Amino acid sequence: MKLYDLELSGNCYKVRLFAALARIPLDVVPVDFLGGEHKRPPLSDLNPWGEIPVLVDGDVVLRDSHAILVYLASRHGGAAWLPGDPAGLAEVVQWLSTAANEVQNGPCAARLVDKFGYGLDKAETIRRSLRILPLIDAHLAASAWLAAGRPTIADCAVFPYVALAPEGGVSLEPYGNIRSWIARVKALPNFLPMPGV
Amino acid sequence: MKLYDLELSGNCYKVRLFAALARIPLDVVPVDFLGGEHKRPPLSDLNPWGEIPVLVDGDVVLRDSHAILVYLASRHGGAAWLPGDPAGLAEVVQWLSTAANEVQNGPCAARLVDKFGYGLDKAETIRRSLRILPLIDAHLAASAWLAAGRPTIADCAVFPYVALAPEGGVSLEPYGNIRSWIARVKALPNFLPMPGV
């Protein structure tokens, strides 16, 4: 099972982190991101969107970090990391949507500007960060984990770009519940770090 | 099962559309969106994010349209609309991420500016629309439906704001495969329209 990967990408890290926690072996293939390898064949044939991560498992090719988390949890992790009942499954999917939109366009986008020079509207990325982080913090006031009362792929999806928020100039100082949750994630057996986390 | 709803919201329409197609009875509760009812108790107690749709089914409360689609398909629709195998499930989730990010921040956001006067960066919404629509169009060149070779909740998640793109000044004229797919969705048994679709 091949993961086309960039070490500094939080989206790739979501997959590496979950695979480490769930002890799923991955063949990690580094991509020359700065050289644009992901935008040329053969990688752009695997993912016409020109993005990474990409997971290849035999005939299965997946282009989205959240879909990859669902696939790995469903195929290799059992129900431990992705509840199978409708309410539990939907509770996790709520946080995958949050990771795909609010976190991606908030703290992740702020970091893309500061760390990689992306030409995004920095003020807008901060505005979005300051909307979503208090909501996550308030949620974590009442529960140790994002969904289902236990660590799930919801935590793996949201953790990277929230933990990396300071790299985009977004302080986590005001968010005590988030900081406690980050410490809990880091204390999970087989936790895998990345640069900046 | 109550759906807190706004007729003109494409996110609410995702749920109404799927419920109609899958013949799932919903008690639709109109929300006074312009009056801010969704930002005050009791609705903001159900969803602290201050957004709709919100689904309430006994003890289950869900705040995200894609999570609601997963819940309804999983609980009431069987595997017909949401494959249960890891690859099929992940294939659908790819499109839920696309709906949550690229479609939401592209054609949906463009429509929010033009139709409801939201103070977003219109040029950015157009730029994002012109990136995602060709990718969707290319995908539909090779397959009649977005995922799993049949209509699924992936189509219900992506359809509303793509079909409503012209309301944000984004023409679908260049995208013949998208236009054919829209016609196929509209021809599904029990299809439900909304204003502008």
- Give the residue on B whose Cα is nearest the Cα of A139: B48
Cα separations (Å) of A18 from A13, A15, A102? 8, 5, 21
**Interface residue B105 vs chain A (CB under 8 A):** yes
pLDDT at A180: 98
Decide the pairing of beta strands B54-57 and B2-5: antiparallel
Q: Are the Cβ atoms of A49 and B135 closer than 8 angstroms?
A: yes
CA atoms within 13 A on the CB side of A155: 28
Task: Name which of B46, B61, B64, B85 to mutate to probe chain A: the one with the most chain A Cβ atoms within 10 A of its Cβ.
Answer: B64
Produce one character per residue of A34-73: b if its CB has 16 or more CB atoms within 10 Å, e if not: eeebbeeeebbebbebebbbbbbbeebebbbbbbbbbbbb
Rounded-to-integer distance, Cα A72 and Cα A84, Å: 14
Task: Name which of B49, B85, B97, B135 to mutate to probe chain A: the one with the most chain A Cβ atoms within 10 A of its Cβ.
Answer: B97
Rounded-to-integer distance, Cα B142 and Cα A45, Å: 14
B-chain residues within 8 Å CB-CB of A138? 48
A-chain residues within 8 Å CB-CB of B146? none
Q: Are the Cβ atoms of B138 and A66 closer than 8 angstroms?
A: no
For residue A97, give the nearest of B66, B75, B91 by CB distance.
B66
Residue A12 sits at φ, ψ, to 5 deg, of -65, -40
End-to-end CA distance of chain A: 26
Q: Are the Cβ atoms of B89 and A105 closer than 8 angstroms?
A: no
Q: 3-class DSSP state for residue B62?
A: strand
B-chain residues within 8 Å CB-CB of A71? 86-87, 89-90
User: How does DSSP assign B89-155, residue by residue?
Assistant: HHHHHHHHHHIIIIIIIIIIHHHHHHHH---S-HHHHHHHHHHHHHHHHHHHHH-SSSSTTS--HHH
Contact B101, A74 (CB under 8 A): no
pLDDT at A2: 98
pLDDT at B52: 97
B-chain residues within 8 Å CB-CB of A63? 94
**Interface residue B32 vs chain A (CB under 8 A):** no
Cα separations (Å) of A178 from A104, A146, A148, B89, B129? 17, 10, 17, 30, 33
One digit per residue, the tens of pLDDT, for chain B of length 197 reads 999 999 999 999 999 999 999 999 999 999 999 999 999 999 999 999 999 999 999 999 999 999 999 999 999 877 899 999 999 999 999 999 999 999 999 999 999 999 999 999 999 999 999 999 999 999 999 999 999 999 999 999 999 999 999 999 999 999 999 999 999 999 999 999 999 99
One digit per residue, the tens of pLDDT, for chain A of length 197 reads 999 999 999 999 999 999 999 999 999 999 999 999 999 999 999 999 999 999 999 999 999 999 999 999 999 877 899 999 999 999 999 999 999 999 999 999 999 999 999 999 999 999 999 999 999 999 999 999 999 999 999 999 999 999 999 999 999 999 999 999 999 999 999 999 999 99
Domains of chain A and any CATH numbers: 2-79 (3.40.30.10), 86-186 (1.20.1050.10)
Structure tokens at B94: 């790819």
The interface predicted TM-score of the complex, written ipTM, equals 0.97
